[in-house]
Structure 1
Amino acid sequence: MCLKYISDWLSFTLLPLAIWSIAVHLLLYFPNGETTYASNNQLTNYVWYFEGLCFSGVMMLLIATVLLTVENYNCYTFSSLQHKYWSQRYSRLGSPILALLGVAFSGYCLIISSLGLAQGPFCSTLAGWDYPFKDTAGSYLTNSSSWAQCLEPAQIVQWNIILFSILIALSGLQVIICFLKGTMELKRILCGTHSFIIQPDTF
């Protein structure tokens, strides 16, 4: 893999972030490792928006893969320096568009995960299955004594808080990385300037 520029390394960092997003979202379907709640549709409604699984996960993996493919193509092709310069410039026209899509997909995950965190979990209470914290505007996060309202699944409040918080962090990083990636690529296309990471020649 040929990673010559800072923006190329930004594309590479999207891969582990996307994989982590998929893993974290899948955990939301299995509170405490149990499958019965998913089969009985006793999960918070925000897990069915597929924000971490599809948008900041699979779609981000596809975007990162295409970006890295374009960057490797620019590294290993073209013999004429002048031809290489102009070919790289035009072959990178799709990179800012992909980066913009990355901002949109990860931004979607960021918003949905924030809403899921603010709403709180769907759990069994003395009044039945409900969202006991949906009208608290997220204030339940700092009031741990109220978490006892959720009788089942066990520790579901902590489970949701931790996993949605991780999704927020991962998607937030993706938004920043995709924004920086798009900005750098536009600068390279429009201005013809480059930010290098100097590497020794290999033989």
Structure 2
Amino acid sequence: MLFPPLLCAGLTGLPTMCVGKCTRILGPCLIALGMLSIAANVLLLFPSWTWSYLKEGHITKQAMQVPGVWGGGIIVTLAPAGTSCWIKPWDCFGYFLSDFLCTCMFLSIVLSGLALLGSSACFILSGVGLTNGPLCLYNQTEVPQWDYPFSLSLRAQNYLYDQSLWNSVCIEPRNVVAWNIYFFSVLLVISVVEMVLASLQIINGFFGCLCGLCEGK
């Protein structure tokens, strides 16, 4: 199905949006953020740079679910793939607006929508991990045990605002509280930026379907 040139012409009263240029900015940004998300989640699996806790299964549940790898990472880095075929300059009023171009744009919208869902899932799971606190060996009973001492069911106050609890409650892994706070916070910030950029990419794709890439306009 070919879009008539008048469809794009009817939108010329709106501010010109260079869809191609926007795509070349958003794509690399999403890829970079996705890689940073993967790195942050991988580091969560090795508190204090120690791999033995992962081997023993003593890693916070939300970190083991690796939302930063599949949600804020792999899915987000796939979003720019739908724009890889936008190579040839397309004229907004020309005769190059074809099914092929619109298929690429539609693919971009779909992949960006998945990136939005993935980054949202990363945001939610990272928020839960930050709220509940880390899995650690703590000594609030006669026998030290592995549990979540800062979870809603056990904590008496919000540990995020009381740094005196960070090293006094958890025995192992060393500095695990600060480790989890830092990297879950990084995942939260990254996922928020990813959600914004993915939303912009979706809007960008819709404008691309209507007006083409508007290169040189």
> Where in structure 2 are the equivalents of 1:140-155 lying within 5 Å?
140-147=159-166, 148-155=168-175
The Cα of 1:91 is off from its aligned counterpart by 3.2
> Where in structure 2 are the equivalents of 1:105-144 lying within 5 Å?
105-126=118-139, 127=141, 128-135=145-152, 136=155, 139-144=158-163
Distance in 1 between the 2:216 and 2:74 partners? 29
TM-score, normalization: structure 2?
Answer: 0.79
Identity of aligned residues (%): 26
Q: 1:69 aligns with which of 76, 80, 84?
A: 84
Provide the aligned C-alpha RMSD in A: 2.5
> Where in structure 2 are the equivalents of 1:1-203 lying within 5 Å?
4-64=20-80, 66-72=81-87, 75=88, 82-86=94-98, 87-126=100-139, 127=141, 128-135=145-152, 136=155, 139-147=158-166, 148-190=168-210, 192=211
The Cα of 1:83 is off from its aligned counterpart by 3.5
**1:133 corresponds to which letter in structure 2?**
F
Q: Structure 2: where are the runs of 5+ without partners?
A: 1-18
**2:187 corresponds to which letter in structure 1?**
L
Output one character per residue of 1:47-93: Cα deviation in whole Å (capped at 9) or x when no partner.
122201122112222223x1341323xx26x89x8342234334312
Is contact 1:118–1:134 with CA below 8 Å preserved after alignment? yes
Is contact 1:123–1:153 with CA below 8 Å preserved after alignment? yes
Distance in 1 between the 2:118 and 2:182 partners? 21
| Greater radius of gyration (CA) | 2
For 2:110, what is the secondary structure of its paired residue? helix
Distance in 1 between the 2:156 and 2:133 partners? 9
For 2:137, what is the secondary structure of its paired residue? strand
Distance in 2 between the 1:181 and 1:137 partners? 43
What is residue 201 of structure 1 aligned with on the other side?
A: none
TM-score, normalization: structure 1?
Answer: 0.84
**1:70 corresponds to which letter in structure 2?**
C
Is contact 1:6–1:197 with CA below 8 Å preserved after alignment? no
The Cα of 1:14 is off from its aligned counterpart by 0.7
Q: Which segments of structure 1 move beyond 3 Å, counting only runs of 4 or more?
A: 193-198
Distance in 2 between the 1:169 and 1:82 partners? 41
Q: Which has the higher helix share?
A: 1
Q: Structure 1: where are the runs of 5+ without partners?
A: 199-203
